Structure 1
Amino acid sequence: MSALKMGIVGTGGIARGRHIPAYVQQKDQVELTSVFDQNQEAAKAAADEFNIAHVAKSYEELLKKVDAVTICTPNIFHAELAKQALEAGVHVLCEKPMATSVEDCETMVNAARESGKILMIGYHYRFYRESQAAKKLLSSGEIGDPLVIRVQALRRRKVPGWGVFTNRSLQGGGCLMDYGCHLLDLALWLTDFEDVDQVLGQTYERISRDPEQVNEWGVFDPDKIDVEDHATAYIKFKSGATLLFETSWAANILEDKEVLSISGTQGGIEVFPFSVNTSKHGMLTTSQAQWLPGEKDAGLAQAQNFVRSCLGLEQPRTTAEQAMKTSEIISAIYDSSSPN
């Protein structure tokens, strides 16, 4: 079987820190063929660092040389770049979030359907071993019907002070688009993307506007940031289940938190760290796994799934249709929020 020819579009931190190293570890199945970035110096630096032979001068040039692309650009460009690749007969792994609007998500889904090519979105939290274990238990009916889902994706004073994370015109949003979307998507996936009845949300843009910033992740201009640094939501599903959601880059809390818990009719699951809470035989029991199967590196597991899906050996774990549902809820949170 011939190796999959992979192109990298956008050579910033996520490409060089996660995606390219993951492909390097799969040399038997994937060949890093070409890179493209509007900043040609950045593209050449990435090519030199990872021994990639070709630096494309245009996206069109790259598409002619590859079987698949990994899109690592600002969010606003996701839809058009994915559509162009799919129409050229090229598979796509696109970084999260899928796009900055539901309409753009629909464009991407339609392009994938018409092309017959793979369109996968980079929600790599689905590939954590804890996530896989939780999915197996939920699918087996271990905790009964999910009733209340709790999600917290919180960082204490860690607004990204690099790149374009605080630029709404390029990213479409702040902590919700960048960080909270991961655990929101994971919660929805674990509970099989139940039909949504109601979304009530609120975003906040106040903490990061303080001119006397204390921030662990670099420096940003509080006068120029125009995205939310905190968001909350209450999501009610048609089944009656509810999801309590909170995310922040800059919360005034004791320490960072990543919480995803699901309380069901027969038991409960804590995903990070993984444990199962039950009440059986007159006892309250919490069990923890001594060992979890799977790849420790979720980014590598995601890349393996994408490559093998393109080669026809697996099915994508993150489908475009599912990712669009996550984007629909993100959009609903923004739409329901009042100015703050």
Structure 2
Amino acid sequence: MKKLRMGIVGVGGIAQDRHIPTYLTLTDQVTIEAISDVNDNTAKLVAEKFSIPNVYSHYEEMFQDVDAITICTPNKYHAEISIAALEAGIHVLCEKPMAMNPEECQQMLEAAEKSGKVLSIAYHYRYMKDSRAAKRVIIENEIGRPIVARAKALRRRKVPGWGVFTNKELQGGGSLIDYGCHFLDLSLWLLGNPKPIEVMGSAYNHLGKIPNQVNLWGKFDHESFEVDDHVTAYVKFDNGASMLFETSWLANIRDDEESLSISGETGGIDLFPLHLNQAKYGVLLNSEADWVPGEEDPSVPQAQNFINSCLGFEELVVKPEEAMQVSKIIDAIYKSSETGRSIRLQ
């Protein structure tokens, strides 16, 4: 069986903690042939740590050695690197979000269509057990037509104190574009990928500006905190469905909360954990998932799907045109917050 030759662009935390270790568990399907990073010393150390044979100062130099790349850079460079790789005939798995704005997403999508190569975005929440089972429940019409989604991605005092997460120029935003995007994507996927038509949102930048913050994920500079720390939104879709959404890095709540609830015409589901709520036979029926032991890390099925899609064996789970809808909503939330009015999407 042919193995996919992989390159990694950007070797920070997400590359070292998720993508590289995952690919190294799939050596019958993929080999990591090269890495590139703006910091040559870091790249050399990572290559030595993971026994990666080739290190390049510039990502384009690795194209001769690989069939595909995984992009783990700050958001600002997602579009530039993706387009360059696709135009060189290289498949691309890009970390979320897809890009800084919908215009860049469109350029990436056009490059993928023109090249005929695979472009996917690493929205790994779709690959979680709850998510995959919930998708099957909805496909099997267990809850009828989905109508309303309620999504929360809330962390209590957990601003990432590493990397460039609070740098607006490099990231484009904060809690919404970094964390909440996963729940926007998951919600759209479970709703059947309807098109957003109107968005009302508020993005706050208050808590991150307060000095001497209690923060469980390291120190950050409140004076240079440029991004949103808490976001709320209401989204309407072309099929009549709607979504209530909230995300935060610094929520003053009792505990972290990751939850997604979808109400359909005949039933509903709740994630995380997974519950199925129905009204049947004259009674209310509530079911809770009881998982058999097995693969828990969503990074593995995500990597397998990308590899097999590149090799022509599978269809992509996260398609670029779907990821672009997430970026359209993110962009509209920020614009709505700035203007104080709802944003209509074409």
Taking structure 2 as the reference length, the TM-score comes to 0.96
Greater shift, 200-209 or 235-244, is seen at 235-244
CA shift for structure 1 position 257: 0.2
Compare 58-67 and 247-256 and name the one that shifted more. Answer: 58-67
Please tell me whether residue 127 in structure 1 is matched to residue 124 in structure 2. Answer: no
Aligned partner of 2:318 in structure 1 is 318
CA–CA distance in 2 between the matches of 1:111 and 1:195?
A: 22
Deviation of 1:297 after TM superposition, in Å, equals 1.0
State the match for 1:19 in structure 2: 19
Q: Is the 8 A contact 2:194 2:237 kept in 1?
A: yes
Query: Match of 2:199?
Result: 199
2:231 pairs with 1:218: no
Query: Could you tell me how far apart the structure 2 residues matched to 1:334 and 1:306 are?
Result: 31
Query: Partner amino acid for 1:220?
Result: F
Partner of 2:304 in structure 1?
Answer: 304
Q: Note if contact 1:129-1:294 (Cα within 8 Å) is conserved in structure 2.
A: no
Q: 1:189-338 alignment to 2 at 5 Å?
A: 189-291=189-291, 295-338=295-338
Pairs aligned (count) = 340
SS of the residue aligned with 2:89?
A: coil
Please tell me the residue identity of whatever aligns with 2:164: V
Give distance in 2, aligned partners of 1:207 and 1:162. Answer: 18
- Structure 1: which amino acid aligns with 2:238? K
Give the Cα–Cα distance (whole angstroms) in 1 for the partners of residues 188 and 15 of structure 2.
26
8 Å contact kept, 1:130–1:292: no
Letter in structure 2 aligned against 1:226: E
Give the letter aligned to residue 36 of structure 1.
S
Gaps of 5+ in 1: none
**Letter aligned with residue 145 of structure 2:** D
SS across alignment from 1:83: helix
Segments ≥4 residues shifted beyond 3 Å: 292-295
From the superposition, tell whether residues 114 and 292 of structure 1 become closer, same or farther in structure 2 (CA, over 3 Å). farther
CA apart distance, 1:292? 5.9
| CA separation of 1:130 and 1:293: change in aligned 2, threshold 3 A | farther
Displacement after TM superposition at 1:293 (Å): 8.8
Contact 1:133 1:292 (8 Å CA) reproduced: no
Deviation at 1:339, TM superposition (A): 7.5
> What displacement does 1:63 show?
1.1
After TM superposition, give the deviation of residue 2 of structure 1 in Å.
2.3
Match of 1:172 in 2: 172
SS of the aligned residue for 1:295 comes to: coil
Q: Secondary structure at the match of 1:322?
A: helix
Q: What does the per-residue CA deviation read over 1:257-295, in whole Å, with 9 as the maximum and x for residues that have no partner? A: 001000111111012101101111222121012236973
**Structure 2 stretches lacking a partner, 5+ long:** 341-346
Letter in 2 for 1:316: L
Q: Distance in 2 between matches of 1:199 and 1:6?
A: 38
Q: Which amino acid aligns with 2:69?
A: V
Quote the offset at 1:194 in angstroms. 1.1
Distance 1:17 1:303 in 2: 14
Measured in 2, the distance between the counterparts of 1:245 and 1:331 equals 14
| 1:57 CA displacement | 2.6
CA contact (8 A) 1:201 1:333 kept: yes
Paired amino acid for 2:49:
E
Q: Does 1:28 align with 2:6?
A: no
RMSD, matched Cα: 1.3
Query: What secondary structure does 1:316 align onto?
Result: coil
- Aligned mates of 2:238, 2:63 — CA distance in 1: 43
- Do the aligned partners of 1:112 and 1:119 also contact (CA within 8 Å) in 2? yes
CA distance in 1, matches of 2:271, 2:331: 25
- Are the aligned partners of 1:71 and 1:78 in contact in 2 as well (CA < 8 Å)? yes
Shift of 1:150: 0.3
Map residues 4-15 of structure 1 onto 2, 5 A cutoff: 4-15=4-15
Identity of aligned residues (%): 55
Structure 1, residues 93-119: CA drift from partner, whole Å, max 9, x if none? 000000001110011000000000000
Find the residue that maps to 1:134 and give its secondary structure: helix
| CA distance in structure 1 between the aligned counterparts of 2:300 and 2:278, rounded to whole angstroms | 33
- What is the CA–CA distance in structure 1 between the aligned matches of 2:241 and 2:293, rounded to whole Å? 29
Q: Tell me the distance in 2 between the aligned counterparts of 1:296 and 1:213.
A: 34
Q: Equivalents in 2 of 1:157, 1:191: separation in Å?
A: 30
Q: Could you tell me which amino acid in structure 1 is paired with residue 74 of structure 2?
A: P
**Alignment partner, residue 343 of structure 2:** none
Please tell me the residue identity of whatever aligns with 1:67. Answer: D
Q: Which moved more, 1:206-215 or 1:150-159?
A: 206-215
SS at 1:338's partner residue? helix
Distance in 2 separating the partners of 1:332 and 1:338: 10
Q: Residue 64 of structure 1: CA displacement?
A: 1.3
Distance 2:130 2:273 in 1: 7
CA distance in 2, matches of 1:253, 1:115: 47
